[in-house]
Structure formats: structure tokens, C-alpha cells
Amino acid sequence: MNFCPGKTMIFCLCLPVVIISYGRSNRVKQNQLKSLHGTIDLKVCSYSGTDIIKERNGRNENIRQDNRAWQLQLQTKNLNSEATDVLASFSLREGNAASTAVAVSFNFSRWSRKNYVMVPAAVYNGNRYRTIGNAYNPPYTKEMYFNPSLPLTISNNPRLSFEKGIASAIELQTGNCATPAMCFYSAADHKGFILLSEQKSRWGNYGYSIKENASGDSCSFTIFAPSMRKYAAGFGDFHLSGDKAPDWKTGDEVSIHLKYYVFEASSIDDVLLKFIQVRKALTGVNEPRNLLPMSTVLSTGTKICSNNFVTTKAGSYYMPENSRDFQLGWVSGMMNTYPMLALNDETERKRVIAELDFITNKLQGTSGYFYGGISADGKLLAEKMHPDFTAPQAMVRKNGDVLFWLIKHFLLLKAQGYGELIKPSWEDAAKKLAMAFVNTWRKHEQFGQYIVPSTGEIAVFNSTAGAIVPAGLVLASEYFSCKEWLHVAEESANYYYNRDVHQQGLTGGDCGDISQDANSESAFAFLQSLMVLYEATANKEWLKKAEVQAALCSSWVLSYDAFFPANSDIGKLDGKMAGAVWASIQNKHAAPGICTSSGDYLFWLYRATGKKLYADLIRDIQHAHAEAVNMPGHITTNNLIGSSMERIQPGDAEGRGSIGNFINTRNSWTETNGMLMALELPGIYVNKKNRQVICFDHVTASIIKYDGDTIVLKVRNDTRYDANVSVFAESVNAPRPIAITTFLQWPKFAVAAGEEKCISVKCLK
């Protein structure tokens, strides 16, 4: 196996698994699989613990083995030129079978190590990268610092070998994936392959195995019922899985329902675009619950945030996370100020001003870059420090957040009529930061992952840590009328897209608690950058790239309402968690929302393309967030009403007992993204031309009358809470880009709990 539990190694040895096979291998070729040199096997496997001791292959036949009679049946149906439905049935007709699992294996005989392999939220490009550590957030080794040739480096995750001549395997279960799927792209065959399964059988979650031989010319993708991994992946390490094969008795049977796609593909982009279209094709369309109006999320969230404003020795600020120490960007610092400013409340406006003063006065380095945080007693906080280097380092991602959100604050103040409150010192700080990014780009043609704010040097190269930087540079370019910054935004966005998305099918490295692992935060941040570029330039090339990036983002979002144990926290609440966003390939859990963003750019993408799947994606994310909010009768934290936490756990990365349980605490970033969604997404969106009505809020709505440019809607609120619903209605075929602060103009309508009423809305042209 291609992992080393219990040892810290940079390179992990990959040992082949020895399997004893009995009888002939009877394989059936499927038409769609021929172009990929693929076949399908059905398997019956006997185990000692998690080690296979016997294996039999068969199809549509009876198999006798050790006084046992098995009946195996494989049924396939071509749905169209690309899609095939598969039903594999296994039945024990005579005898008993202890410790036995069954499986369906897709075997590819002309495999290439160059193939792109993706398992949503778990494996990207086979995770075929250099690794470090054997634990959560491993420290960087000395040679990783100030090294422009640093290869992309990840923590100890399931992966295929990047070393030639070594067999390797990935073992997962469906609970480890955002969508139960295994995918690959073959450049040699110009084909893509997507295999979908359901979550589980009567025996529990399915297991996934991807095995590659030592020569790298053969690979199998196998679905086990139930999961039979030797090791389960943790947060950068492995532990014994505890998987157990069931004991069968006469008459026991199980069926595995699958769907696979084989399609023309000229790049990884095509596989991602197909994935977002079919990700729910087998598990079905999810049914989000209307639980909590967005206005309630905003009011409870801003109350918590307001009560967390402090004045310390370092300065005055809204406390991020669960500490009095201040952390900039990433997980709320200077992001939670935005919804507080949007309240248009004098007290909160003064507090936001105090925080912006504190940030620009205390945290900006000589180079123009900002330090990542400061303790309550005024000590600058360092991040990923070289052991022999004394100058504190900072995350590039946090600096990208600062530039983007600073300009957003300026735009919001102007839109509210308070432009005179914008201080020259704030604008100077934004200019210096923009120029720091430009200088770094001109010198290195990348932004790196960590920088030294005192000098501007890149401390750690590589990764997509600067995913949000192009968006910040675009806004700064428009705000300060500097075209050079727009050019750098375009150049850097093209660089990230071509190097990371197009060639590797991943983005990563912008979290402070991972290595350069693939993650969701960089994926969504880069989508924000692409959409800001499109909205600013109207160049459709950015829109095309944004659609591919949105497809990559969708691979991080739980696509179905997963089954959770009945006695778990989520199980007791009957939680509908489709829309939860997975963190990273290291941090193997989902979370309520995007860290840290409203995801409004998915709404922009929907408006620009008319493709409803983008609106559905952000609607799922918003509704999954509401499932995690702590409210009376719906307890998810041990903290405040309206609070939430970052851990939604469908898998066993933290042990079997953690599945479906919330962490009994709170995280301010999840509360911030809830407030941002409540602000920046319309409660109801109406397009008169195409007669679409989409409810992002927890209400239902339908059009009952057209009266010129006015639409009459019937709106119903079935939640337990009174709602104040924003409505954005327009009457255009090709909607124009909207300003970031357009949400201030959306009319709001009060709809009481349990009330149904008619409202009239005038359409924008």
C-alpha cells in the first residue's frame, strides 16, 4: 500500500498486495469500455481480518466453493452513447460464508501513470506528489524554504506513487468522498471515465480501491460491499480501519448499483465539466429543507460578532475564531467586519473603522505585505517558520484576502453614502499591498505560498495560495484606475489556470493548517477571481475558465443527502447535508459553507450562463449551512444561539465514533460565511424573460401575475421564524454584470413564520 502508518517519511514505500485467486477469470467486455481497454469483473472475497485470503471472479453463473454455492449476475444497460447502468447481484444459495465481501472491478489493461485520477474531495491527480510528515499540519523541512524549484508537496494522504517501478493503491470508503465517484482522464485515448456508486449497501458504506501495478500499465477501480480497507486515512496519517467483512448465511444477497460514463475528452477540463453535470445522476436530486431564514442567520450572526468586539493591548477588533488573538483573513479577521458594516449601524460602523485602523497601522510590513496575525498583547504572529530564520512569515492567501476585502469595504462605504470616512491611510495600505503583489509577480512570475512581510521575499514557493489575489488586483485596479494591476491579475489568473487547473486538475495550499494539499478554499477563491475578471472585462474566455473552475469546486461539495448513524448528532436531527463543503485532502471533513465567502460568484456565473446547476450548487451550500446552525430545538454546538462549527463528518477519518457528530464548539468563520450568504445572495431571484424563480432563502415562491415590469409573487414561509426576504427581479435575456454592493438595492419583504402572502416586485431592466 502506498502509505506508511506510524512513520514520518518524505517518500512512502508502496508494497504490492498478494491475492490468491481460484478458478478462471471470466471477464465481460462492455462496448463503452473497449475504447479504454477496460473490462468488468465480479468478485467474491474471503478475508482474515482485512487481508484477502481467497478470491473468485465470475459473471452470470453459479460458483461452488468450499461447500458454498454463489450466484453472480451482471446486468448492464447502455443509456446512451456515453452512459451505462450496471447492476451487480450476489447471492449465497447454499452454505455459510464467514468474513466475506463482494466487489465489482473495472480493470484497465493499457493504463498510463500520466492519467489524471480524481475521487471527489479525496484524490486529485492521483495525489501523486511528494509527501511529508505523518500527522496533521506537518512542519516544513528546511529545503522547502526559499526554494523556487520546490515540487508540490502534500501531507501523508492516500495516493498513487509518483516514483516509477512501485505498485501502489488507494483505499477509501464512500464516506470519504463528496460524491461517491472515481474518475480519470486518459490523454492517450482522448477519453474520460466517471464511475458513480450509491453510498452503501445493507452491509454499510461501499469501499473504493484504485490499484496500479509496478510497471504502471495496469490499473483497477474496484467497489467493495462493504468497505474493506486495511488502513483508514486520518488527517495526514493512517490508522487501522476496523473494517469487517460480514458473515453470510444461505439466502443472503446484495446488489451493487453503478453508473459509468466513457466520453470524448481532450483535457482534464472536459472531465471536470462532465462531472458537474452527472454528479447527482445516481444518488438523485437532493431535497434541502427550509429550516432557517437567511435574515435570522444574519441577525443572530451579527449579534454574536458584535458581542465579540474587544479592545486589547494590540488594538480594537472583532475577535476571530475562539481566541482573543487576532488572525487576519482566512478565517474571519477583517471579513466579519463586512456584514457588520453592511448593517449601516453607527456603533458597528465606528467599530469597523477602529479595526481597519488597527490592521493598517499594526500589521503591514515594510514590503507592503501584511503579517498574518497579532496576539492580544501585541506580538506579531509567525506562520510556517524556517527554523533558522527569525523574520516572521505570512500566508500569501491572507494577504490576498486583505487586498480583496479592503477594497470591498471601500466600495460598501461609498455605496452607503459614507465615502468621506475612507481614510487615506487605508487607501495607501491597499496601494502598497497591490504593488507588493505586482513586484513579486514581476520578479518571480508567481506569488508563492508564504512570504516575508519585512522584505517581500517568497519564503515558500508553489501552490495556488494566491488564488484570490487576481480578484483583489482587479478591484484595486478599478478603484485606483491602475491598468497595470489588471494586467497582472490577468497574467496570474492565466498562470494558475494553466498550471494548476488545466494541467493538474486541482488547486491547493492556501490554508494555514495544511501543506500544499488540494483543497476547496483555493478552488472557490480562484472561481471568485475568474468571475471578477469576467465581470470587469466581459471577456468570455474568463467565463469559460470559470465554468471549468466551478466544476472543480463542485467536486468538493457533498452532492447527496448522506446517511448518518441514527444515534449521531446529525442522524438525530435528520440532517440533510448535501451542500456541505469538504475542506482538503488532509482535513477529511465537510463544513457548513465556503471558507470564507458567500459564494455569490456562483450566482454571478448562473446569471452569466443561464445554467441552473450553478444556482443549485450555491443553494445547496446555503441550506447545508443552515443545518449546522445552533438554534432552539436544533442544537449543534454547546455555545450561543446562531453559532455554528466547522465539522460535518460523513467519514471515519477521526474514528468510527465521529461519523455524524458535530464538534461541540463554534467557529466564527462559519458564522461569517452564513452572514455573507444572507447579504450577498438574494432570498428570491426572479428572471421575467425565462420565467425562472429560484429561492436561496428558506421560503417557497411562485409567479402568479405579470403586470408590465412588475411581478406578483406568492411567497410562503414554513419555518418557525419570521423572515425578512430580499428579492432580486430582472427582465433581461443576457443579464449585465452587477456591482458587488447591489445587494443594498434589493427590496425586502416581511413574511411571518407559517405565513403565505403575495408581494409585488418591480423588475430591473
What is the spatial distance between Cα 398 and Cα 472, in angstroms, rounded to a whole number? 12
Average pLDDT, the chain: 93
What pLDDT is stored for residue 14 in this prediction?
Answer: 34
Asked if the model's pLDDT at residue 8 lies above 60, the reply is no
What is the spatial distance between Cα 248 and Cα 257, in angstroms, rounded to a whole number? 20
- What's the whole-number mean pLDDT along residues 158-178? 96
Q: Which band of pLDDT confidence, cut at 50, 70 and 90, is reported for residue 28?
A: very low
What is the spatial distance between Cα 531 and Cα 467, in angstroms, rounded to a whole number? 12
- Sheet containing 68-78: order of strands: 61-65, 68-78, 83-94, 253-264, 191-197, 181-186, 116-119, 123-124
Asked if the model's pLDDT at residue 7 lies above 60, the reply is no
What is the spatial distance between Cα 91 and Cα 21, in angstroms, rounded to a whole number? 20
What pLDDT is stored for residue 387 in this prediction?
Answer: 78
Condensed to tens digits (0 to 9), the pLDDT of residues 666-723 reads: 999 999 999 999 999 999 999 988 889 999 999 999 999 988 889 999 999 999 999 9
Q: What are phi and psi of 418, to 5 degrees?
A: -115, 35
What pLDDT is stored for residue 61 in this prediction?
Answer: 76
- What's the whole-number mean pLDDT along residues 424-453? 98
Packing angle of the helix pair 520-537, 396-415 (nearest 10 deg): 40
Asked if the model's pLDDT at residue 336 lies above 70, the reply is yes
What is the spatial distance between Cα 315 and Cα 186, in angstroms, rounded to a whole number? 55
Asked if the model's pLDDT at residue 446 lies above 90, the reply is yes
Packing angle of the helix pair 600-609, 540-554 (nearest 10 deg): 130
Contact 467, 400 (CB under 8 A): yes
Condensed to tens digits (0 to 9), the pLDDT of residues 207-248 reads: 999 999 999 999 999 999 999 999 999 999 999 999 999 999
Question: DSSP 3-state assignment of 702?
Answer: strand
Q: Which band of pLDDT confidence, cut at 50, 70 and 90, is reported for residue 3?
A: very low
What is the spatial distance between Cα 562 and Cα 272, in angstroms, rounded to a whole number? 22
Q: Got the DSSP string for 547-565?
A: HHHHHHHHTTB--S-----
Q: Which band of pLDDT confidence, cut at 50, 70 and 90, is reported for residue 638?
A: confident
What pLDDT is stored for residue 663 in this prediction?
Answer: 81
- What's the whole-number mean pLDDT along residues 463-472? 98
Condensed to tens digits (0 to 9), the pLDDT of residues 31-74 reads: 789 999 999 999 999 999 999 999 988 777 788 877 899 999 99
Beta-strand pair 38-48/100-108 = antiparallel
Q: Which band of pLDDT confidence, cut at 50, 70 and 90, is reported for residue 30?
A: low
What pLDDT is stored for residue 734 in this prediction?
Answer: 67
Residue scoring higher pLDDT (362 or 386): 362
What is the spatial distance between Cα 550 and Cα 555, in angstroms, rounded to a whole number? 9
What is the spatial distance between Cα 263 and Cα 185, in angstroms, rounded to a whole number? 10
Condensed to tens digits (0 to 9), the pLDDT of residues 266-309 reads: 999 999 999 999 999 999 999 999 999 999 999 999 999 999 99
What pLDDT is stored for residue 26 in this prediction?
Answer: 35
pTM of the full predicted structure? 0.95
What pLDDT is stored for residue 27 in this prediction?
Answer: 40
Q: Other C-beta atoms within 10 Å of 104: how many?
A: 24
Reported as type and span, the H/E element at residue 97 is none
What is the spatial distance between Cα 765 and Cα 760, in angstroms, rounded to a whole number? 16
What percentage of the chain exceeds 90 in pLDDT?
88
Name the nearest CA neighbour of 535 among 596, 486, 597, 500: 486
Name the nearest CA neighbour of 635 among 665, 670, 611, 674: 665
What is the spatial distance between Cα 194 and Cα 139, in angstroms, rounded to a whole number? 35
Name the nearest CA neighbour of 207 among 251, 250, 169, 153: 169
- The size of the chain, in residues, is 765
Q: Which band of pLDDT confidence, cut at 50, 70 and 90, is reported for residue 191?
A: very high
Give the chain's domains with CATH numbers: 31-112+130-178+206-257 (no CATH), 294-680 (1.50.10.20), 684-762 (2.60.40)
Strands (E), 79-203: 83-94, 100-108, 116-119, 123-124, 130-131, 153-154, 168-173, 181-186, 191-197, 200-201
- What's the whole-number mean pLDDT along residues 335-354? 98
Condensed to tens digits (0 to 9), the pLDDT of residues 429-438 reads: 999 999 999 9
What is the spatial distance between Cα 275 and Cα 149, in angstroms, rounded to a whole number? 33
Amino acid code (one letter) for 367: S
Dihedral (CA of 145, 150, 152, 153) sign: negative
How far is residue 134 from each of residues 13, 234, 358, 515, 654, measured CA to CA in Å? 14, 10, 38, 12, 15
Asked if the model's pLDDT at residue 25 lies above 50, the reply is no
Contact 604, 646 (CB under 8 A): no
Q: Which band of pLDDT confidence, cut at 50, 70 and 90, is reported for residue 393?
A: very high
